[in-house]
Structure 1
């Protein structure tokens, strides 16, 4: 007989609930509470049917939210009360098969670093998975990179070709086992296998007979290659990586030569936190982020002694990108190295993408594309279906986020495809595609209340990266089972992302909106924080086409997202960009342009080659010496270009201002990678001898009110530059670099305060790639708060172009909601 207090209800759960141990978790809770019913994956989400005493049911529902598995995330839990089913009284709870193929609302988990349980098994000689390089469970392992389609079952992953052995099948089918329905589950008997190919044998491509290949042999040979100073290409989680000994100058120099990467920093993988602490000054927040399930690269301050690491790893900066082993393959390789080395192993671990192209995925592809870069290849037979690079993070500037929140430089592995929830959308909202920018490109697709920003794609400057862009678009649409109903692209018509959007809109008859670059930056930050009312935005980056023909990059905007209104109210005063894009590669041109504006006919004293650069590593830089010679020889020609206005477009770019100051101080006159001049300038500003301003100067003196046809308030760029010259002559380059940061932040804050008083907006979104300069970000936050303003930095996405596609998508959703779509399909 059914008890009078028995109830029956059905719950539909949406979120990150597939491949994360959610169903066995539900099963265990139901068994512990002695409830009847079932749980299963459906096209709408995970459906839970439970029946039992009302107190037990209510307790089950409370625990369902409070005791989630480590990787599970709930975005929706809908409850429906049903009549009690008398036939279920006393029945067992069970897990049922997945149903449904479309319209789903479950989320595929990002790839997750190895968990403590799997690590213990790998290091237990008595365990069947001892040393096995593909160990995983429901709490860790590959997800996004091996998933072909939804629902997330083994048949739709690259593990489909590995039939389970009896031991693994028993674990996979046991609801109380932590490998229950762990789709990548495998062991040495039935799972993927390793082999090693040395470069002279690379043309053969195939491994020897499997019976003759043991993971231990391949790992031992790979470790020997690294110990002998070789460069190893290994098949990682989202693509191939190049590894070498991070303690050997000759090996790091050889890797730089082979990759044509003379200065840009390399990331380093270290075996554990103790090894990381020996090399870097780690705060508790650094340590927590390094050990988080996502296992990102974390930028950490380097110790002076640096634990024996090569000084060639990051010659431009006093920070180093550190990561811990995040796959069992990395763990097994480090264990093999540790058996033969006295010091803890340290490996450069960098993306295997020659000439700025996408990561290599397949074995044959890597053997062909990396044959001139790697001495050996550590390969395996589990296919990678999706290219995903490592995520790069720093710690949030003080006061922005609690705990170990990442501040993204690059958002990819471990975080994608985790969605950004949008308060401005609802379940019936259309699917909008934000097509992103040219550099650090991403795509954004919306589905209902969620925005899915793709992994970092790269710079859209070659055909392979353009194909990768299309590949990402197709895969995201397939995974989310959506098709765009509206496209939003950048205002610049010649960007590859803009052309792609235009061609697709024409081909499929879709409406297309264009949004100015910095307005998209502002919209991204405000949408993430749920701010659709009026706000200001300070957007500081390299370049973006403005509405007035000037190349913008240092702007203060007003933005009312829901009302689809934005306006540029202020920014840096424009200066010349002599030679156009050549000035981006050669910052000395920018320094001369600003000197010309100040009426100075000479070159900086720092260019004569007699002054010792403030950082010793830069003094040995042959590129810097060559750039000094070039600048001196071409200075007169450049001045003629400036006087006649030949190929000298105007820019208000904050990034270009950083470049000009870096060149003026003689620390970077020509760049080998984007942001190099600014990175050196920030590093110099953090030198111990740098002296801050004694008190805040009257930055109002730098403000210029609207004049003539220009309706915007301006921060006087030549005056900022002249202050740098004064400080350098009186106090030295390091103090000049620090005080430039301080004056810029103070001037922008005063400008924002003046505009806040005029508009009534007290919230200030901060966006643009210059905000990845943490010194500038901290100074801006402090200066804005001191004036009673409420600054916002992005929490979920990079402040630079990697987050811009979200702003485009948010703008498109607001346009659709308001009905302000172009009548002919294109705005």
Structure 2
């Protein structure tokens, strides 16, 4: 007699089968364990309660067990040993493991005497590349880019031994049989140790292209202001903050790390974490105007070895042409990055898909960019969505990502970028085909943003027509609300919530531009209960690039056009105002993001032009960090005019800019918290949702939560509150629309 045990979740490529084998030995069981399209399948002569409990409680570090299902089997007899059997079938019901940072055992191994000392591609079942090398399922070596590297006898022995931590580690390699590393300069390979040679160049002020897990980085010595300036000049990236990589002891010297920061940095995902700058800061050129620094630990053996050899923190920023996706191929790097770098540190292991570094914050916890190390991790769908059909949602135009739902799980793709860039659009189409094929997804419903001009929405419409599928168009801010509800596992029939949705711009249900919204509703529908008093966006898209335009409009609306004349007299104010009055390329917008830009411009923060998206708001947040100030008051109907008048008076009186910035953020929080709280108090809402890109501002988020104390508040911690999470919300709205309402 036998039992059949099905284990579902993130259980392939993480050492789960040898873990089961060892557990079975300890319990004296006979049987077998194998991988199949649904996860891990165990056949055993018994299922002791302690054995079943250990499948969850003692699982390997990278495993995520969703379910353990036990069934008696009458026609199987298990006698003798317990063995690990080969994979069966093909398919994609199981979860693919994200790439994982080098584990402590492998980090020790590359620094200790032995055959892998100094080897840049050392890994085991507890770490190493996964999604970036995967070409098909089940996850076996033959379906990865490692297929062309035949294992040497030593690696084969480790691979075949269930007692070894490299048992069935698909990327297993060593210097005798695995990928090789080299330094390339002026089209020729540099003789000698590539790590030592690369380190010497970095210490001398050079800029290098370094091939990582999901693409190339541009690297330089972060302590060398001239090297950082050189990198910025070559890449034409004047002010956008640069990420820094260093071992933990080095990071402690340049940043004030909290226990939460250190935990986030040490996560197997190894994200870039935004941390407070320390007592011995890096040159201002690394993150101009910021009080926060994006840092990460070395997450591959190559990075560990390079950081050891340089002995200094390194800038590690995406290797790409401005606006284009990150470079992943060696020839592509030579063609596109040669003008940026002095040499290439590259290898011959292909990258199956490009993944940027994830960017996160530890306190309050939030994901700003969901990418390497986080994808293709899935999110459970909330209660009530069990019968939902599979949905494919196409997201928005900026910070693009797609979302697939299937089998009670949502798979939100990696960050793709801005779809107005042709190569990013090509990556978007590639990601759609890639995820659909890899996870054998057959959509029954498609979903997209309501905006008629979004490329993703036009593509969704064409796909719906081509496939004969229904298309659900979802209003932008409704999708933000639904994404937050979904991450919070708010039930389908959990009742209405008040949604404070603050972002840049989104196409409204009335055809106008929204962005500072108070919504009431759920997955199925929302009503607009309030919104920031609109102001023109003169120049349309130019208003998002040039903060002074928004400042003039808000000053004029507050009756302080005289201050606009004094502050921005060198600008074409007459033409601007005439266009706004005539409504020529000056749509009215309730955008909270543009209000941030206006206030930033009034405080002299990049008023003329932003050199990167969100610069004004980020610098305003940095200015206000740690400052406590009484909130400015808003007028009835969420009108910022009284706030602008008070701010203008303070500006003229010489009040310190950090206090003004803090008073603005506190005032905005109070203005939206009061009506949201009222909806809960009146019994019309059961909780308050905070979503939209403005809530990446930790100061604003904290102020909102303080203003809503005593009220249930839902926020996003694992899904970006910006447009990177929009596709999840679209998918949930579309799924809810396909399900009958319970009465």
* Aligned twin of 1:745: 669
Matched, 1:134 2:121: yes
CA contact (8 A) 1:720 1:744 kept: no
Alignment match, 2:82: 93
**Is residue 650 of structure 2 the alignment partner of residue 682 of structure 1?**
no
Q: What is the rounded CA distance, in whole Å, between the counterparts of 1:50 and 1:135 in structure 2? A: 34
How far apart are the structure 1 equivalents of 2:578 and 2:565?
21
Alpha carbons 2:261, 2:273 under 8 Å: kept:
yes
Is 1:249 the counterpart of 2:233 in the alignment?
no
CA distance in 2, matches of 1:422, 1:802: 18
Structure with higher Rg: it is: 1
Alignment pair present for 1:226 and 2:199: no
Counterpart Cα distance in 2 of 1:547 and 1:759: 25
- Post-superposition offset of 1:606: 8.0
Question: Is contact 2:44-2:78 (8 Å) kept?
Answer: no
CA distance in 1, matches of 2:21, 2:193: 41
Please show how residues 223-622 of structure 1 align to structure 2 within 5 Å. 223-270=199-246, 272-306=247-281, 309-338=282-311, 345-397=312-364, 406-424=365-383, 429-531=388-490, 532=492, 533-561=495-523, 564-604=524-564, 607=567
SS of the aligned residue for 1:145 comes to: coil
Instruction: Show CA shifts across 1:397-449 (max 9, x none).
Output: 2xxxxxxxx41110111110000100246565322011001110000001110
2:577 aligned to 616, 639, 642, which one?
Answer: 639
Report if aligned partners of 1:555, 1:568 keep a CA contact under 8 Å in 2. yes
Check whether the contact 1:426–1:448 (CA below 8 A) recurs between aligned residues: no
Where in structure 2 are the equivalents of 1:49-198 lying within 5 Å?
A: 49-52=43-46, 57-83=48-74, 88-89=78-79, 91-102=80-91, 104-124=92-112, 126-198=113-185
Matched residues in 2 for 1:74 and 1:528: separation? 18
Residue pair 1:15, 1:105 contacting (<8 A) in 2 also: no
Shift of 1:220: 1.8
Deviates more, 1:113-122 or 1:372-381: 372-381
Aligned equivalent of 2:598: 660
Separation (CA, whole Å) in 2 of partners of 1:427 and 1:170: 44
> Whole-Å Cα distance in 2 between the matches of residues 803 and 651 of structure 1?
22
Gaps of 5+ in 2: none
So what's the TM-score if we normalise by structure 2?
A: 0.96
Aligned residues: 737
1:612 maps to which residue?
Answer: none
Q: CA deviation at 1:362?
A: 0.8
Contact 2:398 2:418 in 1 (8 A): yes
Unaligned runs of 5+ in 1: 1-6, 339-344, 398-405, 608-627, 705-713, 821-827
Note the C-alpha offset of 1:605. Answer: 8.8
* Rounded Cα–Cα distance in structure 1 between residues aligned with 2:549 and 2:338: 38
The range that moved more, 541-550 or 134-143, is 541-550
Counterpart Cα distance in 1 of 2:325 and 2:470: 30
The alignment partner of 2:34 has SS state of strand
SS in 1 for 2:526: strand
Q: CA-to-partner distance for each residue in 1:277-311, whole Å, 9 max, x for gaps? A: 111111111111111111110000102431xx221
Query: How far apart are 1:789 and its partner, in Å?
Result: 1.7
Structure 2: how far apart are the matches of 1:691 and 1:148?
A: 52
CA–CA separation in structure 1 for the residues paired with 2:143 and 2:548: 54
Please list the CA deviations of residues 599-627 of structure 1 after superposition, one character each: whole Å capped at 9, or x if unmatched. Answer: 233245984xxxxxxxxxxxxxxxxxxxx
Deviation at 1:97, TM superposition (A): 0.5
| Partner secondary structure for residue 766 of structure 1 | strand
Deviation at 1:807, TM superposition (A): 0.3
Question: In structure 2, how many angstroms separate the alpha carbons of the residues matched to 1:226 and 1:498?
Answer: 45
Residue aligned with 1:656, SS: helix
How far 1:818 moved relative to its partner?
Answer: 3.0
Aligned to 1:812: 734
TM-score, normalization by structure 1? 0.87
1:776 equivalent to 2:700? Answer yes
CA distance in 2 between counterparts of 1:763 and 1:426 reads: 20
